[in-house]
Amino acid sequence: MSSLSVENAAAILSAGDVVALPTETVYGLAADATDDRAVAKIYALKDRPAFNPLIVHVADAASAKDLVVVEQHTHILMDRFWPGPLTLVLPRKEACPVGHLASAGLKTLGVRCPDHALSRAVIRALGKPIAAPSANPSGKLSPTTAAHVREGFGKQAPPILDGGPCRAGLESTIIGKTEDGWALLRPGPITVEDLQPLTGPLATPGPDITAPGQLASHYAPSRPLRMTMTEAPEGWVLVGFGPIAGDVSLSASGNLEEAAANLFLVLHEADRPAHAGIAVAPIPAHGLGLAINDRLTRAAAGWRGDHDAAI
């Protein structure tokens, strides 16, 4: 399966099936976004509630304009941050070819252009936008290697285009267009500090914009997780950061980028039967630390297995 080529992947997608492919953030479970039956296979394989919209991936900003309304200030954001880990939730165009299943019936569509040569090559070879959520079963940790995808789905695992470990290791930042600006729907690798010079102050989501995937149990490991711990309870594993060494560290030097890239890898490692729980050292709440703490908060809230609510 690791021998899957770009051409093979595009052929499978063209036939209406799913493949897992690498992006700079996490592996995506991809389908032709214009084919509702193919998109349904994503929901089925992930066991994902159908009301949860998927991000649609494009090869460049010009392709996004066929799908969504792109105003001048939106174009500036695309120019500055694409290709890259920024998803923009924008109004669908009347003639948008993306099926309504991908956007779960919403009038908006989340679009992004991944900064990974392999995923863009597959989109170009297919000649269509690709819907792709993270390639993990609902409520499980996001995959940052091909092995995570294989482990997550077991016998159900889709064909995987192996591009090695993901660089960012954390899902894209999501912002949504509001009446008079932008709202932050999910913190991620592009930080609030990066965005606000161009977006103005980022609002928290209001009733006019929904982020249905932002449920507490989204990032749940299979055992309890506690944050801001300086030592581990008996039988627990301690995930360190900076001065707190732990049994395994997100970043011994206290580097937030390194910690983000390691996050899911380390949580996968920590989430083992040998450990009664996962204690995580304090992570500073600025820059990328916001996104890391966001994911950890969800992991801490969701471990009980409330997975019917998770994506």
Give me the residue whose beta carbon is nearest to ligand TXA. 213
- State which H helix or E strand residue 200 sits in: none
CA gap 172, 299 in Å, rounded = 17
Give me the least distance between CB of 190 and ligand TXA, in Å please.
11
Task: Tell me which residues touch ligand TXA (CB under 6 A).
Answer: 23, 25-26, 28, 52-55, 85, 87, 89, 103, 106, 108-110, 114, 132-134, 171-172, 174, 185, 210-214
Q: What are phi and psi of 199, to 5 degrees?
A: -95, -15
Give me the least distance between CB of 271 and ligand TXA, in Å please.
18
Give me the residue whose beta carbon is nearest to Mg ion. 134
- What is the token pair recorded at 174? 């999501």
Give me the least distance between CB of 222 and ligand TXA, in Å please.
19
Closer by beta carbon to ligand TXA, 275 or else 298: 298
Closer by beta carbon to ligand TXA, 96 or else 232: 96
Nearest CA to 226 out of 178, 275, 273 is that of 275
CA gap 104, 292 in Å, rounded = 27
Residue 87 binds Mg ion (CB under 5 A)? no
CB 119 within 8 A of CB 23: yes
Give me the least distance between CB of 281 and Mg ion, in Å please.
24
Outline where 91-209 has alpha helix (H): 117-126, 146-153, 192-199
Distance (Å) of CA 134 to CA 8, 54, 58, 125, 170: 20, 9, 16, 21, 10
Q: Which does residue 89 bind out of Mg ion, ligand TXA, none, counting CB within 5 to 8 angstroms by kind?
A: ligand TXA
By the 10 Å C-beta count (0-12 exposed, 13-18 middle, 19+ buried), 227 is classed as middle
Give me the least distance between CB of 24 and Mg ion, in Å please.
15
Residue 52 binds Mg ion (CB under 5 A)? no
- What is the token pair recorded at 187? 């913190």
Stretch that binds Mg ion, among 36-44, 126-134, 230-238, 251-259 (CB under 5 A): 126-134
- What is the token pair recorded at 281? 């050292």
CA gap 171, 164 in Å, rounded = 16
Closer by beta carbon to ligand TXA, 101 or else 300: 101
CB 243 within 8 A of CB 254: yes
Give me the least distance between CB of 185 and Mg ion, in Å please.
13
Residue of the chain from 87, 134, 138, 293 that contacts Mg ion (CB under 5 A): 134
Q: Which does residue 119 bind out of Mg ion, ligand TXA, none, counting CB within 5 to 8 angstroms by kind?
A: none
CB 95 within 8 A of CB 69: no
Closer by beta carbon to Mg ion, 34 or else 172: 172
Closer by beta carbon to Mg ion, 275 or else 295: 295
CA gap 171, 186 in Å, rounded = 9
Q: Which does residue 214 bind out of ligand TXA, Mg ion, none, counting CB within 5 to 8 angstroms by kind?
A: ligand TXA
Closer by beta carbon to Mg ion, 15 or else 44: 44
Q: Which does residue 249 bind out of ligand TXA, Mg ion, none, counting CB within 5 to 8 angstroms by kind?
A: none
Closer by beta carbon to ligand TXA, 106 or else 192: 106
Q: Which does residue 172 bind out of ligand TXA, Mg ion, none, counting CB within 5 to 8 angstroms by kind?
A: ligand TXA
HSE-CB of 308 using CA atoms within 13 angstroms? 0
Closer by beta carbon to Mg ion, 23 or else 293: 23
